[in-house]
Structure 1
Amino acid sequence: MTDRDVHLPVAAQPTVDSIVDYTTLAEEGGYDCAWLPETWGRDGVVVLTAMAERTESIDIGSSILNTYSRSPALLGQTAATMQEVSDGRFRLGLGPSGPVVIENWHGMEYGNPLRRTRETVEIVREVLSGEPVNYDGDDFQLSGFRLRCEAPKPSPPIEVTGMGPKAVELAGRFADGWHGIMLTPEGMDDRLEDIERGAELGDRDPDDVHVTTGVTCCALEDAERARKLTRQHIGFYIGGMGTFYRDALERQGYEEAPEIHDAWQDGDRERALELVDESILDDLCAFGTPEETREQLEAYEAVEGLDSIAISFPRGADEDTVKQTMEAVAPDAS
């Protein structure tokens, strides 16, 4: 059976308490994990701590902490501490983010994101072992230190994001889990093959890699409003968030993705949204009335090899929309 997680919204949330409220609602609704991304707003670790302290059973995960703004050793310390604070419910989600954020917000060179992610995963795993860390990589060289507290038992899983074939292969080879986004049910098949190839290279069982994909959902009695919010969200991601999402859709056969991106970049948002046609929305998202949204999610649940669906929300969704959607597609409501 496919788990159902929730990918909490961070855009325009009024308070930390409002994010924690979503987490407690997710716990009450039977969701398996509440994932919190860190972007350019609130510090993710502080909010994750509040989430952990005010819940009892739901897993708490970072999705994602980027591999540039914190050192690998600090990420290991964070994971160990969060595992303690959450009583063993923490899942560490890592990813390189993209050059727009890393260079323009953090002021760092993006470099080789695959290599940096691999080395970060390897170092974090050594830190969490509690043994002395001696690592000689291309990006990082560490020696002479070990974790100055008890190593967490069990060690929290390390899960990574990735969209391209090589990034997903890396997850299959080195990580405990992989998070996909902007993937149709059919588009998942190629990425699952990447996981299997990476697991084979790492002499691992691909079933040991926990596969999660995020699905943008909007469940409202006003189905047209749900459609409008979903279209705006997809248009923004294809057009305004670098080239990763554009490329992911083009790989899945949506030849209009570059045109959407270019129209958005040229400032013609209306044209960009017009190009987000029904096929993209229907294939990529779950939206409409609560019943329609639940039915659309069944296509993802049927994907063999997919372990978890992470419910996410349009960036323009207000608090009531988020809560209505969470309640409509909660595991206990299905």
Structure 2
Amino acid sequence: MTARWGLTVPMAGVPLAEHREIVASLPDLGYTDAWSAETNGPDGFTPLALASQWAPPLRLGTAIVPVYTRGPALLAQQAATLAELAPGRFVLGIGTSSNTIVERWNGIPFTEPYARARDTLRFLRRALAGEKVTDEALGVKGFKLERAPEQTPAIVLAALRPGMLRLAAKEADGAITNWLSPNDVRTVRGVIGEETELLARLFVCPTENAEEARAIGRWMIAAYMTVPVYKAFHEWLGRGDALKPMNDAWAAGDRKGALEVIPDEVVDDLIVHGSPEACRERIREYVDAGLTTPVIALVNTGGMSHAEAVRALSPAAG
């Protein structure tokens, strides 16, 4: 079994200030990691700043913050701040995000994503090591952190397809992915090799009401898989034909019809659901397939409180 077991923070529906007791309990429950995200809720750094004080043993990471929505210098400053709060325990997860978040929500052109990720990764390596950096590709001239972190944080890269996965394996300290099945983990491993750390956020519904879990899963799949980067990812993974009716209906403006044509098999592949025991076993299938760090994202608690669900899904529970 993996030595790592992560949780996504903050959890949906729980105010950030009310996370303290849950986060503080994680190490005793066998959790080793807490990973934030950044979409349209809390930013990626603030929850980890709090967690660094609430649960000092945890490894903390962003999964992910976009390379477009902050300038390179500000991204380095925020990473250095977290690295100082959690020395040796902070991992900076970066990625291109999606055209929806970058372009539609932030008004920033989503152009040349591979180059932007590569150049930002290289800039951050140098900046976080305390170098003075000029980078013409990013438009940076002579930036140097006032105080570089004593322990330079690891940097992991979000990657969905072979080009970015190879970049992560070659130049980053690990690769982050999501929306995949255990068998898909093997496909990803075939690109990055066996030595690279591989992290994935797993969407978990600890409920034995399969129809309820699938209804939630269909809504999430439609929201994600119609975005170009995820559509291309699942075409590469071999789900193009299975998801084509959904994508066709969505493109035609038929949102209800798009949900209805998502096969149960696809939902069951991509959403972890069942009893807490069944969910833990499913997570271990990912690990057996080559996932280094599973990161649970609770999307339903099955009638339990969030604290109860976190406890039920923990390594300490079984």
TM-score by length of 2: 0.89
1:262 corresponds to which residue?
248
1:229 corresponds to which residue?
216
Cα displacement string for residues 226-257 of structure 1 (whole angstroms, at most 9, x for unaligned residues): 34323332233224xx1222222222222121
Alignment partners' CA distance in 1, 2:274 and 2:211 = 7
* Preserved contact between residue 77 and residue 127 of structure 1 (Cα < 8 Å): no
1:133 corresponds to which residue?
133
Task: Give the drift of 1:113.
Answer: 0.9
* Aligned counterparts, 1:1-334, within 5 A: 1-2=1-2, 3-8=4-9, 11=12, 13=13, 15-136=15-136, 138-143=137-142, 145-149=143-147, 151-196=148-193, 207=195, 209-239=196-226, 242-254=227-239, 255-304=241-290, 306-314=291-299, 320=304, 322-334=306-318
Amino acid at match of 1:5: G
Give the match's secondary structure for 1:235: helix
Q: Which runs of 5+ in 1 are unaligned?
A: 197-205
Distance change >3 Å, CA 221–CA 285, structure 1 → 2: closer
Percent of paired sites with the same residue: 30
Greater CA drift, 226-235 or 103-112? 226-235
Distance change >3 Å, CA 97–CA 22, structure 1 → 2: farther
* Preserved contact between residue 206 and residue 301 of structure 2 (Cα < 8 Å): no
* Preserved contact between residue 99 and residue 110 of structure 2 (Cα < 8 Å): yes
Cα displacement string for residues 261-311 of structure 1 (whole angstroms, at most 9, x for unaligned residues): 23234443332222222211222221011222222223212113x211111
**Aligned Cα RMSD in Å?**
2.4
* Preserved contact between residue 218 and residue 321 of structure 1 (Cα < 8 Å): no
Alignment partners' CA distance in 2, 1:258 and 1:153 = 50
Alignment partners' CA distance in 2, 1:117 and 1:318 = 38
* Preserved contact between residue 214 and residue 264 of structure 2 (Cα < 8 Å): no
Greater CA drift, 263-272 or 56-65? 263-272
Cα displacement string for residues 181-206 of structure 1 (whole angstroms, at most 9, x for unaligned residues): 1112222223222223xxxxxxxxx6
* Preserved contact between residue 23 and residue 51 of structure 2 (Cα < 8 Å): yes
Alignment partners' CA distance in 1, 2:77 and 2:302 = 34
Task: Give the drift of 1:96.
Answer: 1.0
Task: Give the drift of 1:221.
Answer: 4.8
Alignment partners' CA distance in 1, 2:42 and 2:74 = 18
1:203 corresponds to which residue?
none
Q: Which runs of 5+ in 2 are unaligned?
A: none
Give the match's secondary structure for 2:60: strand
Alignment partners' CA distance in 2, 1:84 and 1:169 = 30
* Preserved contact between residue 166 and residue 194 of structure 1 (Cα < 8 Å): no
Number of equivalent positions:
316
Task: Give the drift of 1:260.
Answer: 1.3
Distance change >3 Å, CA 20–CA 118, structure 1 → 2: farther
Distance change >3 Å, CA 228–CA 9, structure 1 → 2: farther
Greater CA drift, 180-189 or 268-277? 268-277
Give the match's secondary structure for 2:40: coil
